[in-house]
Structure 1
Amino acid sequence: MSVNVITYDVGTTGIKTCIFEISDTIKLITAAVEGYQLYIEENGGAEQDLKEIWNAMCSTTIKVIDNSKISPGSIQGISFCSQMQGLVLVDKNGEPVRRLMSYMDQRARRELKEGMGNGLKISGVNFLKLLKSIKITGAVAASVKDPVWKYNWVKRNEPENFKRVHKWLDVKEYLIFKCTGNFIMTKDSAFGTMLFDIRKGKNCFSSKMCKLLGVNMEHLPQIAGCSDKVGLLTEKAAVQLHLKAGTPVFGGGGDASLIGVGAGAVSMGSTHIYSGTSGWVSTVVNKRVLDITSMIASIIGADDNSYNYFAELETAGKCLEWVKNHLALDEINIYLQKICVSDSLESLYVNLYDFMLEEIKNIPAGSHGVIFTPWLHGNRCPFEDSLARGMFFNISLETGKRDLIHAVMEGICYHLRWQLEAQRKKIKTSKAIRFVGGGALSPLTCQTMSDILGCEIETVDSPQNAGALGAAVIVAVGLGILERMEDADKLIKVKEVYVPNTANKEIHDRNFIVFKSLYKNNKRAFRIINK
């Protein structure tokens, strides 16, 4: 017996809609992708238009149904994997009172300073508030990008919009409302508000934390489990999506919760690395762990029986997008002669990223001494600094574009190593690490990751679909096909294994020492220029 499900991977720059067939394996039937805008503002704002996201969801759903030739009535479940820690404020009718404030938004510096920065401090956070927050939530709202400070920013700067607020949602919760008409928030999203009481017997929003951080508790929705059925597809939504009304909709999870599930890294102690627009290192743990100095915390995931010890990199693949647009491409037509990519090359390389990475494959480890820092929009871990920025270090007359592009790829890997080493101060990470996301499509990146981290890197089939696959696992659990989340590793197998090249270790170890010094040596300069 097999069932068909539809899942949505809602990213920062686009949505991927997939149909999976679930039986004794999970098979991708078809997928469609559509992008939307990320609006970066001069004051640190990062916003998105929810109508653009919903429209992209509708159009890609229609495409996958048409391409698969599957009857809408045969879809037995809908679920989501989504970007997290966005702020969606809606009125009583579920209409947004303003644009989505992305997890990348960093304009609420004043709100963070007033809320957590006064009195006796540890790592810049008020000592008493830190202790209370850790006791109740297992984490602390210490980042300017945490949604509670965005909420307070709207309260202070947009009072007319704030008066209209009925509920506070995250991105996928808004899409769930559009599908079902219900206001809910899954546990992992609730944890991301830094208002969720994780203590035994609680599992609810904390009135003490709401009072401490200035939040109206009436704005918070009902909490649901990730694999819970949270509603049925309404007639209106069914018409827009070309699906059948009454189709069950499940809670789903955030990308930090479900990409590890889609990677098959679900057993205790399993570590995975993700490289998409953002990036992270995450390890499954069975207890609350917090490293406030390195900004790493164990966060609630899709499985109620475990946590994900999570270290985030704000811009990973986004750095490669930047280097593609501004270094690899001739965006100002300065060349005297332009050579178009031929049809034969287009057939050989799936896209310009593949072509770009093919061009740098012969650059040696260490990029001829050039080092890149991937902090194009600030950084969270292992240091929190919204003013930090990217840089190329040690450019010479001999440095070419290929060296610079290669250095960007290595810089992302260096930062992920920094995060992995920070995790190992508190926990034991796995010997072999699963690598997923668009970055894992490149054998060059996979091998470089293995060389820099000094450990085995494992990839799975279609690593770019790990989030959507994790959402499919959620439906399988919700429908009773799988008994528990941990059973996902039976369905998701390793495809390739990369072993460290010891000849490159000395070079990478040397560069890594310099890489870590670049923030310390330039922290004051970042503040002078970017404040």
Structure 2
Amino acid sequence: MSTYVLAYDVGTTSMKTCLFALTDRITLLADAVEGYELYMMENGGVEQDPEDWWRAMCRATRQVLAVSGISPHQIAGLSFCGQMQGLVLVDANGAPVRRSMSYMDNRAKAELKEGMGRGIKIAGLNAYKVFHSIRISKAVAASVKDPVWKYKWVARNEPASFEKVYKWLDVKEYLVLKTTGEFVMTEDSAFATLLYDTRPGRRGFSKKLCAMLGVNPKHLPRVVASTDLVGRVTPQAAAELGLAAGIPVFGGGGDAALIGVGAGAVGEGSTHIYLGTSGWVSTVVRRQRLDTKNMIAAIIGAHPGYFHYFAELETAGKCLEWVRDHLALDEINIYLRDKDGRSLETVNVNLYDYMMQAIKDVPPGSNGVIFTPWLHGNRCPFEDPNARGMFFNISLETGKTELIHAVLEGVCYHLRWQLEAAERKVKAARRIRLVGGGALAPLTCQILADVLGREIETVEHPQNCGAVGAALVVAVGLGLLPDLTAAGQLVPVKERYLPNPEHKAVYDRYFPIFKSLYYNNRKAFSLLNG
């Protein structure tokens, strides 16, 4: 007998809703994608309307049930995988007091400077606060994009809204609240506030860190495990979602924790790379490590006792979206025909396939063009909200195909930079799982293998790994799996890509130039964008 579960992957610009059948394997029965707005502001603000997420969840739930033919009464449980380090402030009735501040929001520069930039310093940060942060949480709120500084920004700039705050939630926790009426936060989300005590026997929000950084501990919700049953679908939520009331709802996890689970990269030492709107390199470890110089930390995972040594790139697939909108989509239809005279629109499923087809013959190195993927600043291995993207070394012979190809390579160069920085403290796997929408393109997979000099593995439906991870959370919560480490056997490898030595030699020559582009231009970035 199959067990039917719903899994929601709440991304930066859209929600993927998946209906799975769980047996001795995990089978996707139906899925639906609903988009929502990302509000980009001139002062560095990036916001979303939490009600947009809920409306997307309601529409997509009804779609997958209609397509699959599964009755709402057959759903055994549901859970979430969500974008992390958002700030959703709600009142006592669960209503948002303002729009959510995204993980990309970087306007709290003054709050970071005031909170960490005074007194005796280590690496530009208050030595006393760094010491206690590392001692208690094994991490430091050192980035302008960390949620605590967004919280402080609202307190300073919007006092009327701040007075209404009852609880501080992250993105998926808001949807848990809408579904169950419960104010909770999973442990990985709690750690991402950088206010969480990770020491054995002391797990929980730290009163010391809250006092040190000026956070009201009453604003912080109850902490639960990812696989905990946190509540059941309320009658009101059931009516809006088209579900049956009483369905179990499990804690779920952030994308940094659950995408690795959905990729099958669950054992100690396993490594995965995610290429979605954002991107990252993550290796599973059993004890916490921290590299403040390169902005890499071991974050709490969905499985107790496991951590993810995690390096983030904020704009990965977002760079390809930019390419789609500003280079590929144009009024002169530069890609009307392929070499055989066929319309490229007729031989490609979508515009991303269209672009991959158009650039497949561009040589490694894009004929000397290098792209930097810092379209909205950067966090790791250097923290600089002022950094921006650029095309370097354009000549009269440079065409649009080289530019698009260079964007793919630029994202892969940066992932290599992160991997090398991470390996100063944690050894990454020789075989790396690549997941996210970027893993759908064989060209991207091969470029990444060549740039890294590592074997790249992909899985079936790599764009759904967050939802797969959420479904596996439900499986553990229902007792169908002993724990999340058993997930690996349900997620087999589909394709493997081996590095081409000739291509790697080209990338090895270009890679130091790529890194130099930041160091040679950071003063200019500050002057232009500071």
**TM-score of the superposed pair, with normalisation by structure 1:** 0.98
1:277 aligns with 2:282: no
- In the comparison of the two structures, how many residue pairs are matched? 528
Note the C-alpha offset of 1:340.
Answer: 9.9
Letter in 1 for 2:451: I
SS of equivalent to 1:7: strand
Letter in 2 for 1:112: L
Match of residue 93 from structure 1 = 93
Note the C-alpha offset of 1:118.
Answer: 1.3
SS of equivalent to 1:218: helix
- Kindly report which structure 2 residues correspond to 1:292-371, keeping only aligned pairs within 5 A, or say none: 292-330=292-330, 333=331, 335=332, 345-346=344-345, 348-371=347-370
Structure 1: which 5+ residue stretches go unaligned?
Answer: none
Describe the shift of the 1:218–1:313 C-alpha distance in structure 2 as closer, same or farther (beyond 3 A): same
Note the C-alpha offset of 1:123.
Answer: 2.6
Match of residue 510 from structure 1 = 509
Match of residue 67 from structure 1 = 67
1:375 aligns with 2:374: yes
SS of equivalent to 1:236: helix
Letter in 1 for 2:462: P
Note the C-alpha offset of 1:72.
Answer: 0.4
Letter in 1 for 2:28: L
Q: Distance in 1 between matches of 2:209 and 2:371?
A: 39
- Kindly report which structure 2 residues correspond to 1:422-501, keeping only aligned pairs within 5 A, or say none: 422-501=421-500
SS of equivalent to 2:114: helix
Q: Distance in 1 between matches of 2:399 and 2:274?
A: 28
Note the C-alpha offset of 1:124.
Answer: 2.2
| CA deviation string 1:412-467 (max 9, x = no partner) | 00000000000110011101000000000000000000000001000000000000
- Kindly report which structure 2 residues correspond to 1:16-31, keeping only aligned pairs within 5 A, or say none: 16-31=16-31
Q: Distance in 2 between matches of 1:411 and 1:94?
A: 42
- Are the counterparts in 1 of residues 90 and 97 from structure 2 also a CA contact under 8 Å? yes
| CA deviation string 1:222-252 (max 9, x = no partner) | 0000000000000000000000000000000
Note the C-alpha offset of 1:217.
Answer: 0.5
| CA deviation string 1:200-231 (max 9, x = no partner) | 11111011000011100000000000000000
Letter in 2 for 1:515: F
Describe the shift of the 1:337–1:503 C-alpha distance in structure 2 as closer, same or farther (beyond 3 A): closer
- Are the counterparts in 1 of residues 374 and 388 from structure 2 also a CA contact under 8 Å? yes
1:218 aligns with 2:204: no
SS of equivalent to 1:418: helix
1:240 aligns with 2:227: no
Q: Distance in 2 between matches of 1:265 and 1:176?
A: 26
Q: Distance in 2 between matches of 1:343 and 1:7?
A: 40
Note the C-alpha offset of 1:324.
Answer: 0.7
Q: Distance in 2 between matches of 1:314 and 1:283?
A: 18
- Are the counterparts in 1 of residues 261 and 469 from structure 2 also a CA contact under 8 Å? yes
SS of equivalent to 1:161: helix
| CA deviation string 1:465-493 (max 9, x = no partner) | 00000001100110110001110001100
| CA deviation string 1:275-296 (max 9, x = no partner) | 0000000000011100000000
- Kindly report which structure 2 residues correspond to 1:94-243, keeping only aligned pairs within 5 A, or say none: 94-243=94-243
Q: Distance in 2 between matches of 1:346 and 1:57?
A: 31
- Are the counterparts in 1 of residues 19 and 31 from structure 2 also a CA contact under 8 Å? yes
**TM-score of the superposed pair, with normalisation by structure 2:** 0.98
Q: Distance in 2 between matches of 1:372 and 1:133?
A: 36
Describe the shift of the 1:92–1:343 C-alpha distance in structure 2 as closer, same or farther (beyond 3 A): farther
Q: Distance in 1 between matches of 2:425 and 2:357?
A: 38
SS of equivalent to 1:387: coil
Describe the shift of the 1:338–1:303 C-alpha distance in structure 2 as closer, same or farther (beyond 3 A): closer
Letter in 2 for 1:400: G
Q: Distance in 1 between matches of 2:5 and 2:114?
A: 46
Match of residue 50 from structure 1 = 50
SS of equivalent to 1:364: coil
Give % identity.
63
- Are the counterparts in 1 of residues 336 and 344 from structure 2 also a CA contact under 8 Å? no
Letter in 1 for 2:5: V
- Are the counterparts in 1 of residues 335 and 344 from structure 2 also a CA contact under 8 Å? no
Q: Distance in 2 between matches of 1:345 and 1:471?
A: 37
Describe the shift of the 1:222–1:11 C-alpha distance in structure 2 as closer, same or farther (beyond 3 A): same
Describe the shift of the 1:344–1:239 C-alpha distance in structure 2 as closer, same or farther (beyond 3 A): farther
Match of residue 386 from structure 1 = 385
Q: Distance in 2 between matches of 1:401 and 1:337?
A: 9
Match of residue 249 from structure 2 = 249
Q: Distance in 2 between matches of 1:243 and 1:343?
A: 47
Match of residue 290 from structure 2 = 290
Q: Distance in 1 between matches of 2:369 and 2:12?
A: 29
SS of equivalent to 2:360: coil
Q: Distance in 2 between matches of 1:232 and 1:424?
A: 42
| CA deviation string 1:39-89 (max 9, x = no partner) | 000000000011111101100000000000000000001100000000000
Match of residue 5 from structure 2 = 5
Letter in 2 for 1:303: H
- Are the counterparts in 1 of residues 336 and 343 from structure 2 also a CA contact under 8 Å? no
Note the C-alpha offset of 1:343.
Answer: 11
Q: Distance in 2 between matches of 1:168 and 1:180?
A: 17
Note the C-alpha offset of 1:125.
Answer: 1.5
CA RMSD, Structure 1 to Structure 2 (Å):
1.4
Match of residue 527 from structure 1 = 526
Letter in 2 for 1:499: L
